Amino acid sequence: MLFSVEPKTSIKDVFGRKAEFLDFLEKLENGRRLFVITGPRRIGKTSFLYASLNEIYRMKKIPYIIVDARKVISVNAHNPGEVIAKDILKLAQGKISRTLSRLEEITVRGYGIRLRSKSRELTEILEKINEKYERAIVAFDEAQYLRFAQRDFTLLLAWIYDNLQNLVIVLTGSQVGVLEKFLRFNDYKAPLYGRYHVRIKLPRFNPSEALEFLERGFAEYNMNVPTRELLSAVKTLDGVPGWLTHYGAYRVDGLSHWDAIEKVLEEAKGYIESEFKELDELSPRYRAIMEIVATITSTQPTARRKDILNALTLREGKEIDSKDLRKYLMRLVDYGFLEHTGYGEYYIPDPVVKRVFQR
Ligand code: ADP
């Protein structure tokens, strides 16, 4: 069901994403071993990860294990290596009767991975998986949280990449969090510096996809929702699947169009705020630029770079290098918060994001 509010785990429940899935599959077949699936929150990274790995297992019999990094960090930040081993074992829940501490021999059953191991160390378990399988996928969902671990997890990832040639690493996360702050491929001091990786960017649905998503979702409940309400939902909520799904679920549960929109907007604002905090940590200028663009574009379609520069200069009370501003703008475009018209003009493509910054 499209409006089920949990992450999807089967490709048949995932709307769209065919091009991204085929890209993933093709690169995997080309022998690529490090994948980063990025996109803003609620875009469907977890759903894409589970559904794709299930499908790849079905098609190619490549087994996989997924570890939720949030769980790893929330359980025990001091010894995450062991916790991850435990989490891998948790996938086998029901199969293990004794507690981990009493186990002498552990059976690891990820999706398709069957392994008996005397070891409780993650590195040894990974080595065993590497020995046993011609190819296996080890995935970390919301991988940016691993940067809060006491051990440097990128060292572990670099070690897997360099030594365990049968393992494919797949990571998901927000672009800022996972790429800039955790993996740091461009930082020559970072363990993963320069490693070849494939980035799969999950975009928002375009308006016609978003409309079709809602139409199909309501059809699954035999609900007839007026087209003008569907169009209004698409216009207000844009193409973020998580928000469209919640809108659909609220309507199915009996809320009126505007009540459903209001509820989703409130939730969405919270998500955007928490996601933007990652950028706040890098520099307060990102937020300032977003606020400036939101203000300028409340009366005109786009904001000129020159006007953004003037407004920022006024705010900070000092001269700002226009090259610097370009760098910030490029980043905001890369993260999907802004779009560039090609004529030195910018706008906020997501109406929900725009609301957050319009004060
Ligand atoms: P993320 O991991 O990016 O935060 P999730 O995978 O948790 O996103 O998805 C958020 C919500 O949107 C979930 O309810 C999920 O079922 C739904 N969803 C996301 N992408 C799709 C899609 N392509 N098709 C159907 N539902 C989706």
Pick the last residue of a domain from 201, 224, 255: 201
Write out the DSSP string of 219-275. Answer: HHTT----HHHHHHHHHHHTT-HHHHHHHHHHHHTT--HHHHHHHHHHHHHHHHHHH
* Nearest CA among 341, 310, 314, 342 for reference residue 325: 310
Query: H/E element holding 107?
Result: strand 106-109
Q: What is the pLDDT of residue 94?
A: 31
CB 148 within 8 Å of CB 77? yes
Ligand 1 centroid – CA 43 distance (Å): 6
- Are 255 and 196 in the same domain? no
- Are 40 and 170 in the same domain? yes
Q: Which CATH number fits the domain that encloses residue 17?
A: 3.40.50.300
- Are 126 and 255 in the same domain? no
Number of domains in the chain: 3
Spans of the chain, pLDDT less than 50: 91-106
Q: What is the pLDDT of residue 116?
A: 59
Task: Let me know the angle formed at the C-alpha of 236 by 230 and 241, rounded to the nearest 5 degrees.
Answer: 75
Q: How far apart are CA 114 and CA 111, in angstroms?
A: 8
Going from the C-alpha of 172 to that of each of 17, 45, 182, 289, the distances in angstroms are: 15, 6, 11, 27
Q: Which atom number of ligand 1 is nearest to the Cα of residue 202?
A: 3
Q: Residue 214: inside a domain, yes or no? A: yes
Ligand 1 centroid – CA 15 distance (Å): 9
Going from the C-alpha of 116 to that of each of 64, 93, 126, the distances in angstroms are: 15, 15, 12
Atom 14 of ligand 1, nearest CA residue? 5
Q: What is the pLDDT of residue 271?
A: 85
C-beta atoms surrounding 150 within 10 Å: 11
Q: Which atom number of ligand 1 is nearest to the Cα of residue 47?
A: 6
Q: Which atom number of ligand 1 is nearest to the Cα of residue 172?
A: 2
The encoded tokens of residue 75 equal 């359980």
Q: Residue 1: inside a domain, yes or no? A: no
The encoded tokens of residue 69 equal 């990094």
Q: How far apart are CA 337 and CA 291, in angstroms?
A: 12
C-beta atoms surrounding 330 within 10 Å: 12
Q: What is the pLDDT of residue 120?
A: 62
pLDDT per position as a tens digit, 227-285: 999 999 999 988 999 999 999 999 999 999 999 999 999 998 888 888 888 788 889 99
Kindly tell me the burial class for residue 104, based on how many C-beta atoms sit within 10 Å of its own C-beta (0-12, 13-18, 19 or more): exposed
Q: Which CATH number fits the domain that encloses residue 332?
A: 1.10.10.10
Ligand 1 centroid – CA 340 distance (Å): 27
* DSSP assignment letter at 31: T
Q: Residue 3: inside a domain, yes or no? A: no
Pick the last residue of a domain from 177, 201, 225: 201
- Are 197 and 211 in the same domain? no
The domain in which residue 289 lies consists of 283-357
Is ipTM over 0.90?
A: yes
CB 113 within 8 Å of CB 136? yes
Which residues share a beta bridge with 200?
37
- Are 118 and 257 in the same domain? no
